[in-house]
A and B are shown apart, each in its own frame.
Chain A
Amino acid sequence: EPEVTQTPSHQVTQMGQEVILRCVPISNHLYFYWYRQILGQKVEFLVSFYNNEISEKSEIFDDQFSVERPDGSNFTLKIRSTKLEDSAMYFCASSGSRGGYEQYFGPGTRLTVT
Chain B
Amino acid sequence: GIQVEQSPPDLILQEGANSTLRCNFSDSVNNLQWFHQNPWGQLINLFYIPSGTKQNGRLSATTVATERYSLLYISSSQTTDSGVYFCAVERPHKAAGNKLTFGGGTRVLVKP
Interface positions of A (Cβ within 8 A of B): 31, 33, 35, 37, 42-45, 47-50, 54-58, 89, 91, 93, 95, 98-105, 107-108, 110
The 7 closest A-B pairs by CB, nearest first: A56-B97, A48-B97, A55-B97, A100-B30, A102-B48, A45-B99, A43-B102
**Which chain A residue has the least Cβ–Cβ distance from B105?**
A42
| Residues B98 and A42 in contact, CB atoms below 8 Å apart | no
| Residues B33 and A102 in contact, CB atoms below 8 Å apart | yes
Question: What sequence of 0s and 1s flags, for each residue 72-112 of chain B, a beta carbon within 8 Å of any chain A beta carbon?
Answer: 00000000000000101010100011111111110000000
Q: How many A-B residue pairs have CB under 8 A?
A: 73
Cα distance A55–B99 in the bound complex, in angstroms: 10
Instruction: Give the size range of B's interface with the partner.
Output: 20 to 34
| Residues on B with beta carbons closer than 8 Å to the beta carbon of A58 | 99
Name the distance in Å between B84's Cβ and chain A's nearest Cβ: 10
Asked if B45 CB lies within 8 Å of chain A CBs, one says: yes
